[in-house]
Amino acid sequence: MFAYVVKRLISGVLVVTLVSMAIFLLFWYGPSSPAQPICDRETSNRCGNKIEIYEKTLGYNNPVHEEYAKFVKGVFVGRTLTIASNDYECSAPCLGVSFRTKEPVKEELLSRVPATFSVAIGGAFLYLLFGIPIGVAAARRRGSVADKALVSSFLFISSIPYYLFALLTWLYLTVTFEIPLFSNTGYFSPITEGPWAWFSGLFLAWVALGIFGCTQYTRFTRGAMVEALSEDYIRTAKAKGLPSRTIVYKHGLRAALVPVVTIFGIDFGTLLAGTIFTERIFEIQGIGWWSLQAVQGMDLPVVQATAIFSAVILIISNLLVDIVYSVLDPRVRLS
Amino acid sequence: MTSVPVTQSAATAAEVVDGPYLQVEDLQVTFPTEDGPLTAVKGLSYSVEKGKTLGIVGESGSGKSVSSMAVMGLHDPKSAQISGSIRVGGTEVVGLSEARMRSLRGNSMAMIFQDALAALHPFYKIGAQLEEAYLVHHSGASKRDARRKAIEMLDRVGIPQPDRRVDDFPHQFSGGMRQRAMIAMGLVNDPSLLIADEPTTALDVTVQAQILDLLQDLQREFNSAVIIITHDLGVIAEMADDVLVMYAGRCVEYGTTKQILTSPEMPYTWGLLSSIPDVTASTDARLIPIPGNPPSLLNPPTGCPFHPRCVHSDKVPGDLCVTELPALTPATGPGHLKRCHIADPSAVYRTEVLPEIAPELLEETR
């Protein structure tokens, strides 16, 4: 088990390195100079041949491997970055300085983590809380009118693109009906601005994520549960004289949870890496919105940092899924 | 729930009842399907006494498992319509409330299934599964009592080092050991009726023999009524006192094991006997399969359900086989019943069937 985790972590580090290299190369050999956007911004679109100063100070005249080595060194020991005539101190682990705000990327990233994590954890909590029990209930009544109505209405909801669904929730609940609880969306620090502000600001985002995820997890759980309940060991449990609650939950759900947990691990990792639509629509200053702004503004260090952050989160969540899988299913051995 | 008095009363009730422990009368099991009602078991009657073994033989789809699952009350009441009478230790089981049924299941009657790997829960330890079966009918017992009982049962069915293997998962057991554990789980509450549904089908032959020996030993020890469902007449010869041959949901022949194996009076039973490979026969000897396929239960053949596959229907005058279902009538031996229109089936068996499948037996009988 320990050796397995170490092995997976080593390969994870390798993947992160490759991701960072790929992003570095893609920007380096892109259609326009990576220095062009920052030069345009700082000279009010009269960049002209000042581009050379930016390219020189940002190191875009040097060979790519030298600059990549500097970047890696910065991650471990920090570095001083020069943009045009100004120096910016960037302490380890240095992920660069934002071209727009001139702030170190790492600090900005860390300041946005709580917002994204709050959205992800709250939304996931809601959709598991409702999705799994509804799925179990539907599986127990499979084929009934209630089951068919539920499955088809949930299929209808999850066929709507998520961005449209989230936009519609906002339009109706906040704009049309002006429900007070949903009036002020956004991220407010639970410490400095109070837990109520934090809760009410995120609640609509949780509801949107929760309902949409619930429709999906109901279907996953229902499918896994229908399969589990038709297994031979369920018949054995019945033949033992166990009450139906024990049969459904202890024998059925226990087996049905394994595939659901696997899907959830990957899903939740994606949520933690940034919920772009949710954050953009509900104006939550998280990693998702930040990376969207960075892409729009060609803020290369930020794009690079968010991509690496996503890779790290996904690698960790994949590893956790595999570990949890081996705990849930004793037939799975990690090696 | 006061389970200790319940188990006691069930035990005393069983002792009070005279005659067979299990009595099935005119059992009919119908499943509604999209293509109309499917009657899987029709007019089935049989009984099993304590200490006796009934073998039920037949092809897949002949209704052997469906009828036994009806005895255990394992059919979904929403999808299966059961009529007739099933009396277990004097208690009428058809129409019994789910709560009462649950107190019988796994307690006074138990079932062991084929393919123990699928029938045991893959995520729970063997011991935990045995303990669960014990505790559900002994709510007064402690966890430690249950564990002791689980180890004792594993020891009884011949699992080596039961105190250690009790903490293994099913996938860590070999096929034979899994089936032993399955049997231990079935017998953990000392049931008076044990139904074994193809208990040796998924096992290799040497292990099959061990499992059958074990079942016989345990039956002698617990003096329970046993139903063994199989399509293997070798298992029947080894285990059963009486044999019920099923075809298309009906009983087509019933008798003692000796009657069925030595003087069968129904062409389907002849077919089953003809298709057994004989290890002592020459390698050129041919197996004689039963032609055709098992009939559709949705549209069963008219008359005798076996007539489309029967090679002896020409011995019946007219088209009686096609138009009329033969009644289950007494055959030559005492208690021997058969469902066939042929006037003297034992003569046909001796002159036509036996010479082909076992000429040496013919010599002996002469």
* A272 is a domain residue: yes
Structural domain span for residue A296: 106-328
In a domain, A244, yes or no: yes
A134 & A8 share domain: no
Asked whether the beta carbons of residue B123 and residue A329 sit closer than 8 angstroms, the reply is yes
Nearest to A102, CA basis, from A83, A121, A117, A118: A83
234-293 of A, contacting B, C-beta below 8 A: 235-244, 246, 251, 254-255
Do A110 and A93 belong together in one domain? Answer: no
Q: Which domain holds residue B25?
A: 3-240
- Are A251 and A233 contained in the same domain? yes
Is residue A160 included in any domain, yes or no? yes
**CB environment B330-366: b (16+ within 10 A), e (fewer):** ebebeebbbbbbbeebbebbbeebbeebbeeeeeeee
CB atoms within 10 A of CB A77: 11
Number of domains in chain A: 2
Assess whether pLDDT exceeds 70 at residue B17. no
Six token digits for residue A109: 């990233």
B263 located within any domain: no
A84, pLDDT greater than 90: no
**Average per-residue pLDDT in chain A?**
90
Residue A335 lies in a domain: no
For testing contact with chain A, the best of B7, B31, B109, B123 (most A CBs within 10 A): B123
Chain A residues 204-233 within an 8 A CB cutoff of chain B = 231-233
CATH of residue A321's domain is 1.10.3720.10
Q: Write down the pLDDT at residue A50.
A: 83
Q: Which of A239, A242, A243 sits opposite B111 (nearest CB)?
A: A239
pLDDT confidence of B285, banded at 50, 70, 90? low
- The shortest CB-CB distance from A239 to any of B103, B105, B115 is to B105
Task: Specify the number of domains making up chain B.
Answer: 2
Q: Output the DSSP codes for A73-118.
A: HHHHH-EEEEETTEEEEE-SS---B-TTT-SBHHHHHHHHHHHHHH
Distance from CA of B32 to the nearest CA of A (A): 14
Q: Which of A254-258, B12-16, B284-288 has the weakest average pLDDT?
A: B12-16
A242–B118 CB contact, under 8 Å = no
* Cross-chain residue pair B72–A330, CB shorter than 8 Å: no
Share of chain B above pLDDT 90, in %: 59
- Do B236 and B293 lie in one domain? The reply is no
CA distance A327 to B328: 57
Chain A CB contacts of B74 under 8 Å are 235, 238-239
* CA dihedral (B259, B262, B263, B264) positive or negative: positive
Alpha carbon dihedral B249, B255, B256, B259, in 10-degree steps, equals: -120
Contact A232 B119 (CB under 8 A): yes
| Same domain membership, residue B236 and residue B276 | no
Enumerate the residues of chain A whose CB falls inside 8 A of the CB of residue B116: none
Residue A174: pLDDT above 70?
A: yes
Determine contact, residues B245/B57, Cβ cutoff 8 Å.
yes
B281 in the same domain as B236: no
* Nearest-CA distance A226 → chain B (Å): 14
Mean pLDDT on A115-136 = 95
What's the pLDDT score for residue B3?
40
Q: Do B121 and A255 touch (CB under 8 A)?
A: yes
Helices (H), A29-63: 36-42, 51-58
Q: B28-42, pLDDT tens digit by residue?
A: 999 998 888 999 999
**Rounded Cα–Cα distance for residues B253 and A90 (Å):** 91
Q: Which of A104, A120, A146 is the last residue of a domain?
A: A104
Task: Specify the amino acid at residue B87.
Answer: R
Instruction: Answer yes or no: are the C-beta atoms of B269 and B285 closer than 8 Å.
Output: no
Structure confidence by residue, pLDDT tens digits, A247-268: 999 999 999 999 999 999 999 9
Q: What is the pLDDT of residue B5?
A: 43
pLDDT tens string A272-326: 988 899 999 999 999 999 999 998 888 888 998 999 999 999 999 999 999 998 8
* A36 vs B152, higher pLDDT: B152
* B280 shares a domain with B234: no
Residue A65 shares a structural domain with residue A111: no
Q: Are residues B189 and B289 in the same domain?
A: no
pLDDT band at A55 (very low <50, low <70, confident <90, very high): confident
CATH number at B13 reads 3.40.50.300
**Single-letter code of the amino acid located at B9:** S
Last-in-domain residue among A72, A87, A104 = A104
For residue A93, say if its preceding peptide bond is cis, omega within 30 degrees of 0: yes
